[in-house]
Structure 1
Amino acid sequence: MKIHTHWTDIPDDARGASAAIGNFDGVHRGHRHVIDLARDHGPLGIVTFEPHPREFFAPGAPPFRLMNAKAKASRLAKLGVDHLFQLPFDTAMVAMTPEEFARQVIVEGLGLSHVVVGADFCFGKGRIGTATDLKQFGAQMGFGVTIAELLETETGVSSSSAIRVALAEGRPHDAADMLGHWHRIEGMVAHGDKRGRDLGFPTANMSIDGLHAPKFGVYAVLVDVLTGPHTGSYQGAASLGVKPTFGANTPCLESFLFDFDGDLYDETLSVAFVDFLRPEEKYSDLDALITQMNADCDEARKILSALA
């Protein structure tokens, strides 16, 4: 997959693509429905925006993203996307009218032959452009437009907002139903305070900065080690939160990989949230904490063994 970070100077081999347009946070089932419709019309492209428009308009708001740009690109590449047009969402983009976006970005800039958007798609200055407007511009300017209806699952409409709610409430199975895969946090393992090692549970610590936080607590997880000498898939238990037993801390994700012995510092991990075991708690002494951690690992092993 080739990544293009602007809508000008697009190489000839990327022009003429059929592209799905949207933010694609989480790359959930609804997103993949839109992407599959775009796949029917030529070389597959994705048009998305960085930063996410919500981050641009409200930079001080609480983190809401389900995945960072790198994780999103990785997920899209696995879907067979040929070209990812990761457009800068800046003051120039915000100032464009819907017609200017259609002409300058879609036609003159990217040279798209066909676009697919969700029925709730809005674009242009003040978000006044609708999917129907885009279809009219396509007819005038010479590109095809498909409007995809919203996709419903057993849990409800597949949307990034609904997935965030499910995760915040500790319902990773419902989130997975809408996503079509386990929710994952991907990132680099950082050096921590090494308390887990001292307790007999060495953990891989990862920042969740900039991401929507699932409910704080302990989870059964599946961990893919993506880089380094220990690449592969592992089962484990993870604690997400602020470690209240040890005082106030910055929220982070600490994953303990079962039957693993090795150094993961500075390697990239992808941690899948399979089941919520319990909320995080503050323990009066370390013996009580260790007893609970052993129980958590036993429960996680039972849950994960049932997936095989």
Structure 2
Amino acid sequence: MILTDWHGVPETARGATLALGNLDGVHLGHVAVLAAAHQARPDLPLGALTFEPHPREHFRPDDPPFRLTLLPAKAAALAAAGAQHVVALPFGTELAAMSAADFVEIVLHGALGARHLACGPDFAFGHRRGGDVKFLRQAAEALGIGLSIVPHLADAEGAISSTRIRRLLQDGYPERAAALLGRSFAITGPVTHGDARGRTIGFPTANIPLGRHLEPARGVYAVRATLPDGRVVPGVANLGRRPTLGGDPISRLEAHLFDFAEDLYGQEVSVALVAFIREERKFTDFPALVAQIRMDAAQARTLLAV
């Protein structure tokens, strides 16, 4: 269940233990916060509270897209980690102006009836991020709400964070990003019409706009696409601006699914980037591009063992 308003919260979503945060990507560190919320009060329903859009999108709307997960994918990942409901508070002028004290009193205590909270050590909230974990502990305690501060989960390279995962994807390391996410990074969106050029050479593609997703390194990837009915189909995809074909103003994902001939136009498809094969580059002519596509597809089949 996804709740997108704190007014009129159903009783089934009140009185829970809640994991707090932006939770972009729902990486292993976020899963640890969710687990801590449950472990502290296993007798209570388990929920997650996040913000939509991401506050950075509200305050810096001209920034390039940076999201690892949009709300449906975020909610699905949280549900897979045990959350029974997700509260996605609408982050706009009203919430941005709310003081930290009012956020705890009105939203967490009054509207949601939270019984226990869990967050990372750098969680900040309220007007101009006026509330930190020290303030949250004091305010929650005064209202009889428990709080678990969960240390950053780390590996040999340092703390696991959404920022670090974004950097790995932009540098062309989807496998390393997947190790921190606990699953492959995926771009989800509706399949749109392209110029059908791939169909003429035996490589029809499902075209998916990046939208608000982070743009990973441009190039060719071995991928696995999850269809609306749950089937997972391996394939090869190009992410970029097609310089050999004249260039596009914005990047897009073009996925060729192996041994697949069904019409996906208009359907929501999630394409997981499994392995980076090569950087995007401009070829001397179309036949050279076609020859490379055939090699890319063969390499993707090898990487995916299909």
Q: For residues 185-216 of structure 1, what are the alpha-carbon distances to aligned partners after superposition, in whole Å with 9 as ceiling and x for unaligned? A: 11111111111111210001000011110000
In structure 2, distance between residues paired with 1:98 and 1:273:
39
SS in 1 for 2:269: strand
Letter in 2 for 1:180: G
State whether residues 135 and 145 of structure 1, in contact with CA within 8 Å, keep that contact through their aligned partners in structure 2.
yes
Please identify, of 6-15 and 52-61, the stretch whose mean Cα deviation from structure 2 is larger. 6-15
Contact 1:190 1:204 in 2 (8 A): yes
Moved over 4 A (4+): none
**Residue aligned with 2:118, SS:** strand
Equivalent residue, structure 2, for 1:217: 219
Could you give the per-residue CA deviations for residues 155-193 of structure 1, whole angstroms, max 9, x where no partner exists? 431110000000000011111111111111111111111
SS class of match (1:99): helix
User: Conserved in 2, the CA contact under 8 Å of 1:95 and 1:124?
Assistant: yes
Query: In the alignment, what sits opposite 2:144?
Result: 142
SS at match of 1:278: strand
What is the rounded CA distance, in whole Å, between the counterparts of 1:189 and 1:298 in structure 2? 24
- Percent of aligned pairs sharing the same letter: 44
Q: Does the CA contact (< 8 Å) of 1:153 and 1:177 recur in 2?
A: no
Query: Distance between the aligned counterparts of 1:152 and 1:242, measured in 2?
Result: 35
Q: Structure 2 CA distance, aligned partners of 1:178 and 1:190?
A: 30
1:14 aligns with 2:13: yes
Partner of 1:270: 270
- Code of the residue aligned with 1:27 in structure 2: it is V
Q: Match of 2:304?
A: 304
Q: Is the CA contact (8 Å cut-off) linking 1:153 and 1:178 kept in structure 2?
A: no
The aligned residue for residue 86 of structure 2 is: 84
Alignment partner of 1:24 is 2:26: no
Q: What does residue 54 of structure 1 align with?
A: 56
Give the alignment of 1:151-300 within 5 angstroms. 151-227=153-229, 231-249=230-248, 250-300=250-300
Q: Distance in 1 between matches of 2:50 and 2:123?
A: 12
- Report the CA distance between 1:153 and its aligned residue: 2.7
Find the counterpart in structure 2 of residue 127 from structure 1: 129
Paired with 2:199 and 2:256, the residues of 1 have a C-alpha distance of: 10
Task: Quote the Cα distance in structure 2 between the aligned partners of 1:114 and 1:136.
Answer: 13
Which letter does structure 1 place at the counterpart of 2:57?
Answer: E
Aligned partner letter, 1:94: A
* CA-CA distance at 1:154 after TM superposition: 4.1
Change (3 A) 1:257 1:155: farther
**When the two structures are aligned, how many residues end up with a matched partner?**
302
Compare 261-270 and 210-219 and name the one that shifted more: 261-270
Output the aligned Cα RMSD. Answer: 1.3
Query: What TM-score results when the alignment is normalised by the length of structure 1?
Result: 0.95
- In the alignment, structure 1 segments of 5+ residues that lack a partner are none
Name structure 2 gaps, 5 residues minimum: none
Partner of residue 109, structure 1: 111
CA distance in 2, matches of 1:116, 1:7: 19
Q: Quickly say closer, same or farther: Cα 1:138–1:21, change in 2 above 3 A.
A: same
The answer to whether 1:70 aligns with 2:72 is yes
